[in-house]
Amino acid sequence: MTNQHPRPPNFSICVYCGSRAGAEPAFGQVAAQVGRWIGERGGQLVYGGGRSGLMGQVADAALAAGGRVIGVIPQALVEREHAHRGCTELLVVQTMHERKRLMAEHADAFLALPGGIGTFEEFFEAWTWRQLGYHEKPVGLLNQAGYYDAMIEFLRHSVDAGFMEEAQLRMVTTHNHPHRLLEALVHAAGFPTPMRLDEI
């Protein structure tokens, strides 16, 4: 399913986030900030294609700001995650593996927002692929309201315990400010710092 869009994107960010809204309104607010930032700068959002939770909020904000949105969702989750029919392009696939492959192929960078087990799995896979050399795209972790504090502490513990190297940890750009993190990811992906379209 494809909806017409007037221009090609300047950059493409794959966002992993929860299909639930979470317990704090701040989680939804930051998802909307991320989507709006991408859309206002002529970027493209790639995400899991759902309409509920943070997934729906990031997509709605990107679309409302004029961004292009590609949603990728398995057929089995079309009803469960309430597939977002308003996406610029909604790709319905058969497996989770195909979903993640297409999301990665359409992205210049990866960004994890707060989420649950699916978000964790997608984030760690993108990071693993990076450290194995399957891609060289930047990977970011948005630590909104300290949500990922405990995970970051555990990852540092893994380095201290000898199961990871500091260089692997440095492959992930972590920040608690969405705009600064997005700017860092876009720059690391080889694009100039994006300006709002109304400022160009």
Q: Check whether 10 has a pLDDT greater than 70.
A: yes
CB 11 within 8 A of CB 189: yes
Residue 180 to residue 79: CA distance in whole angstroms = 35
Confidence label for 21 from pLDDT (cuts 50, 70 and 90): very high
Q: Check whether 179 has a pLDDT greater than 50.
A: yes
Give me the residue spans of the domains in the chain: 12-145+173-189
List the alpha helices (DSSP H) in 47-148: 53-64, 96-105, 117-132
CB 57 within 8 A of CB 28: yes
pLDDT tens sequence across 51-96: 999 999 999 999 999 999 999 999 998 877 689 999 999 999 999 9
> Which CATH code of 1.10.540.10, 1.20.140.90, 3.40.50.720, 3.40.50.450 fits the domain covering 12-145+173-189?
3.40.50.450
In whole angstroms, how far apart are CA 107 and each of 59, 70, 156, 158, 164?
15, 10, 27, 28, 26
pLDDT tens sequence across 92-148: 999 999 999 999 999 999 999 999 999 999 999 999 999 999 999 999 999 999 999
